[in-house]
A and B are shown apart, each in its own frame.
Chain A
Amino acid sequence: MGMGVRVRVWGDYALFSRPEMKVERCSYDVMTPSAARGILEAIYWHPGMRWIIDKIYVKKPIQFTSVRRNEVKSKILASNVLQVYNGADKSLCISSKSDIVQRASLLLCDVEYVIEAHFEMTENANASDNAGKFKDIIMRRLRRGECFHMPYFGCREFPAHFCLCEEEQIQTAYEDVDEKDLGFMLYDIDYSDKENIQPMFFRAVMKNGVLDLRDCEVVR
């Protein structure tokens, strides 16, 4: 697996929203593969490559905390919008009581993971691109702490610090837990058909603190 890379990521908080609990956001127990992909893409990405997550090591015990914030309602009534568009002098302002809601988020706190991933070349690569070149760029960025933008754990207010993981043997927080079934988790979102963007799920089973995503069954 020459195109493979291991990245250690850690931070104070994380929020990997469960799609079924979106209004009052609630985090999954561990990082989703799509969040891991987002972190890697924040460090390096190119149209000529695609990140594939192989394993996620859970290095700290799973702990939750909650925070309630004043937030802006995400959806505005279609009828109201249409009226405003058509010139009605209606107010849909953001600070009025009706447009601000208090929402709780259930966050993970004190998280640390190791993401094991590799990349594949896509047909969008330029003629001068090759896997070795990408790999070099990635390794350089990881060693120097360079990034396109600061990676984050699910939401931008939860920054993810990162560095190259150089340990051979990765210790997890659940060494002595053979199997922990985390239920169905979001695998990623399939954007290949722009008209019909679909979420993909998988049955997450953490074995000794490791989520193995190689040849897992993906359900749509």
Chain B
Amino acid sequence: MSEAIKNRYEFVILFDVENGNPNGDPDAGNMPRIDPESGLGLVTDVCLKRKIRNYVEMVKEDEAGYKIYIKEDVPLNRSDREACESLGIRETEDKKVTDALKKLKKDDPDVDVKLRDYMCRNFYDIRTFGAVMTTFVKASLNCGQVRGPVQIGFARSIDPIVSQEVTITRVAITTEKDAENKSTEMGRKSIVPYGLYRAEGFISANLARKVTGFSEEDLQLLWDAIINMFENDHSAARGKMAVRELIVFKHSKELGDCPAYKLFDAVEVRRNEGVEYPRKYQDYTVQIHNDQIPDSVEIKRMI
């Protein structure tokens, strides 16, 4: 495994949606999420993280060291148990795993840390985003809590979005009984005609070094995952989504060179003059004000 990253990073992701629903709101009948006061669209952090996990899972296909903890069809506790087995803890004949664990805990006070490190080594998403591996059950295994270096905030659209209800019909009827009475059924889709969203993220080199061991290779994979996160996530609901811009700020030091807000403020996304209803990416101009950024911070436009 290569070494943990040594620099603090901040990043800005700009992605857009065309005739799709980037993130449905379960509170509002799966309409696109909207900040009710400003009318700006929202995409939650967890939504983006899910897409990053999916990309890594797809590309790496469970390669050693790049497993994904939170995915389909693998029980969480089974993964915990895998950690146990790698340390030579096996379910003995007396079936009392808990006893064995207790014994082990007594023998080795660092067992929690060992298990945590094992999980971080093997699971990309734990190394990146962290995980709570406590199952808060009496005598069950406690791998501890891990804070990952990568932190992402909610994404917000640049301009207020309009969500549009599109009514659609289908000719295949689900139940026989319904089929007797009607030949089509109505359904609904909510779409955003166009929206440009901006998400901001942070990467702490300290948490990478001291806790999870998030490495330069992992970082590269993260950038790839962010750039391609929508490329393999096409579906009827999403419409056309694409990452348009990934701007990375690399600090020269582990602790950083300047406040994050200054870097974010330096990235200006403006609707072009004369455009009243933005409908395409070209209706916006992205400008990075280099003069507001200290020279020691390296700016990279990854796309």
Q: State how many residues of chain A have any CB contact under 8 Å with chain B.
A: 46
CB of B140 within 8 A of CB of A95, answer no
B267 close to A (CB within 8 Å): no
24 pairs, CB–CB < 8 Å, chain A vs chain B: A65-B37, A67-B27, A67-B44, A68-B25, A68-B26, A69-B44, A70-B46, A76-B77, A81-B140, A84-B77, A84-B78, A85-B140, A86-B97, A91-B73, A92-B76, A93-B74, A94-B70, A94-B74, A95-B73, A102-B26, A145-B258, A148-B204, A157-B154, A159-B260
CB of A149 within 8 A of CB of B97, answer no
Seen from chain B, the residues whose Cβ lies within 8 Å of a Cβ on chain A are 25-27, 33, 35-37, 42, 44-46, 70-78, 81, 91, 95, 97-98, 132, 135-138, 140, 147, 149, 151-154, 156, 200, 202, 204, 206-207, 253, 255-262
Cβ-defined partner of A93 (8 Å) among B72, B151, B204: B72
User: Min CB distance, B90 to chain A, in Å?
Assistant: 11
Name which residue of chain B comes closest to A63, CB basis: B37
A131-171 CB mask vs B (1 if < 8 Å, else 0) is: 00000000001001111111010001111011100000000
Name which residue of chain A comes closest to B251, CB basis: A146
Seen from chain A, the residues whose Cβ lies within 8 Å of a Cβ on chain B are 12-13, 65-72, 74-76, 78, 81-82, 84-87, 90-96, 102, 104, 109, 141, 144-150, 152, 156-159, 161-163
CB of B42 within 8 A of CB of A76, answer no
Instruction: State whether A148 and B153 are in contact (beta carbons under 8 Å apart), knowing that A68-B25, A85-B81, A85-B97 are contacts in the complex.
Output: no
CB of B206 within 8 A of CB of A159, answer no
Name which residue of chain A comes closest to B263, CB basis: A145
Cβ-defined partner of B77 (8 Å) among A13, A65, A92, A109: A92
CB of A81 within 8 A of CB of B135, answer yes
If A92-B75, A159-B151 are given as contacts, then 10 extra A-B residue pairs at C-beta distance below 8 Å, sorted by A number, are: A65-B35, A69-B44, A76-B76, A84-B81, A92-B77, A144-B259, A145-B262, A146-B255, A156-B147, A163-B259
B residues within 8 A CB of A74?
132, 136
B residues within 8 A CB of A78?
137-138, 140
